[in-house]
Chains A and B, each alone.
Chain A
Amino acid sequence: HPWETVAQAAWRKYPNPLNPSVIGVDVLDRKVDHHGKLISHRVLTTTWGMPSWAALLIGLHPVTYASEHSVVDPKRKSFELKSSNVSLQNFISIDEKLVYSPHPTIKDATLLKQEAVVTVRGLSLANRLEQMVTNAISSKASAGREGLEMIIEKINDEMKEFASTAKKGLEEMKNSVDVLDFE
């Protein structure tokens, strides 16, 4: 899909059935800077994928928060998002970076480059845990792309419906104008 399509869909990525744990997205700040870039700061609210009572039982808060900073550069066609967890920072750091840009060789396609760095502090199981989280992020990455694909399809359907409603409206108008001519 062309970069513009992906950029629009990326803002509407959540909710989608393939990333069900993101239950809240809020914009904390947003502005267009003097280079024309759109700078946003959002906070994402995530659950563990288990009922809150279960999370509380094992000593977790039912929701965790992540902070995401993003820059859209419409001239260079680049949409970069960086997010880090806010909750549990004393224990683990998950830093993710996603960059959407036009595909260098395939026409009208977009390239997504996704990286994540996981750092676990103060645990003897640190390496194993980092590996587990990294694997989970890796498999979530393709779910992220598929989720985005679903949103793009939804937007296309919305546009088709809008176009057909507009067309019907125009035809009705045209018909009423024709009727007036007869009087």
Chain B
Amino acid sequence: MNSLSEECTPLKQEYDACFNSWFSDKYLKGVTTDHCGPLFQKYQECVKKAIKDKAIDLEQLEKRILGTANEKQIPES
């Protein structure tokens, strides 16, 4: 799987591999501290910069629809 930015893809793949094995081998067995921190930091820095460069506005997303008063009723079908 790729990252939204080509240059972040190798960092992402490294982090994902770490996360996937941590998730199955540690987290689901009750270990909550993870060792992927440094990998994640490097990857995150790259992604956050890419988002800024591409001007993706994520703040719009903080409003929820499902589960709030905005949720539409099921239409009569």
Contacts and interface: CB of A to CB of B under 8 A. Distances in A.
Is B a genuine binding partner of A? yes
Interface of A: 4, 7-8, 11-12, 14-15, 23-30, 32, 36, 38, 43, 45, 63, 65, 67, 72, 74, 82, 84, 86, 89, 93, 95, 97, 115, 117, 119
Given A4-B28, A97-B66, A24 B2 contact: yes
A43 B58 contact: yes
Contacts of B64: 82, 84, 95
Interface in B6-43: 8, 12, 15, 19-20, 23-24, 27-28, 30, 32-34, 40, 43
Contact of A15 (B1, B12, B44, B57): B1
Nearest to B63: A84
B4 A8 contact: no
B4 A86 contact: no
Interface residues of B, number: 34
Interface of B: 1-4, 8, 12, 15, 19-20, 23-24, 27-28, 30, 32-34, 40, 43-44, 47-48, 51, 56-58, 60-61, 64-67, 71-72
B69 to A, nearest CB: 13
A11 B72 contact: no
Nearest to A5: B24
Contact of B32 (A11, A36, A117): A36
A7 B15 contact: no
A85 to B, nearest CB: 9
